[in-house]
Amino acid sequence: MTTPLHITVLRGGPSAEREVSLRSGAAVAQALRSLGHQVDEVDPIPGDLQIPAGTQVVFLALHGTYGEDGTVQSELEELGLPYTGCGVSASLYAFDKILTKRRCLKAGVPSARFERFIDASAPWPNGWKPPVVLKPTRQGSSVGLQFVDRIEDFPSALAESLGHGGEVLMEERIVGRETTVGILDGSPLPVVEVRPKSGSYDYANKYTAGRTEYFCPADFEAAVTAQIQQAALAAFHAVGGRDYARVDVMVQPDGSPVVLEVNTLPGMTETSLLPKAAAAAGIPFPQLCERMVQLALRRQPTRQ
């Protein structure tokens, strides 16, 4: 029996991932209401966060800047309110792809070689060969993602990627199978394999119905599955994660995993990747949302 709570779901926000966040928040709110909770939905304004009186816990369904970079987490801690997901420092580290890389390398987590760029006129770096991937350091949902297969395409790709935040991570492009691993309460969920029907797993293929196939549990040998999950969990710990997250991992042809990034507030529609993995582990969507709420409540006191 679920004890009814007064929950505020934060959704929307100011980031480039606003539309995805609105969908996540609507799905979470509906799921929590189905369990008997009183749910308010708030589209937050940075610097003027208004939480309805009587709120016992805040469910963060935000993505991207403000919601996923430690800012709203800091504001909620000042208010003394418990909230779902990772804390301030883990959010900050995980949202910054370069900080994540450094943390992973220090912890021995398998990660791709990388360079950092802040200047659109920067030349192709010595000692590198295509193909490479360019990513804005502090964006999610594949916003600004660029693939470079020829050196002559580098300047325009770099300029495009830099247009989404002013700092870019360049990585060697790992060839293999694309997977993601949900982490829930310190344990890895079943591995999800992502297979776009054409091209790469970019923003359009992520959010356009029918353009990507998903397989969960992914079809790997048990030993390879364990390696993928262990690498994901190690990355989660490397950034100081708590409660839950989703870790993207490439699997090379020899079965060895390479961690790409840690998503501290992953998509939360019923068809998003973390809920898919939870469903494969026998956790329906409403119960997943409830579990996230309970993890928050056990950690922090409510506002006095």
**Token code pair at residue 80:** 């003394």
DSSP helix/strand/coil, 46: coil
Q: Is 201 a catalytic residue?
A: no
Q: Is 248 a catalytic residue?
A: yes
**Token code pair at residue 241:** 């994660």
Handedness of CA 55, 57, 58, 59 (dihedral sign): negative
Q: Is 246 a catalytic residue?
A: yes
Which member of 103, 263, 272, 290 is catalytic? Answer: 263
Which member of 13, 144, 240, 267 is catalytic? Answer: 267
Which member of 207, 211, 255, 256 is catalytic? Answer: 207
User: Rounded to the nearest 5 degrees, what angle is found at the Cα of 271, between the Cα atoms of 267 and 277?
Assistant: 80
Nearest to residue 234, comparing CAs of 89, 96, 135, 106?
A: 106
Q: Is 261 a catalytic residue?
A: yes
Q: Is 160 a catalytic residue?
A: no
Which member of 66, 248, 272, 290 is catalytic? Answer: 248
Q: Is 119 a catalytic residue?
A: no
C-alpha of 196 from chain center: 18
Q: Say if residues 250 and 177 touch (Cβ distance below 8 Å).
A: yes
Q: Prior bond to 266 cis, omega within 30?
A: no
Which member of 70, 261, 272, 290 is catalytic? Answer: 261
Which member of 23, 177, 242, 246 is catalytic? Answer: 246
Q: What CA dihedral angle connects 29, 33, 37 and 41, to 10 degrees?
A: 30
- CA gap 300, 76 in Å, rounded: 11
Which member of 17, 75, 202, 290 is catalytic? Answer: 17
- CA gap 175, 6 in Å, rounded: 46
Which member of 21, 111, 141, 161 is catalytic? Answer: 141
Report, as residue numbers or ranges, the catalytic residues.
17, 141, 207, 246, 248, 261, 263, 267
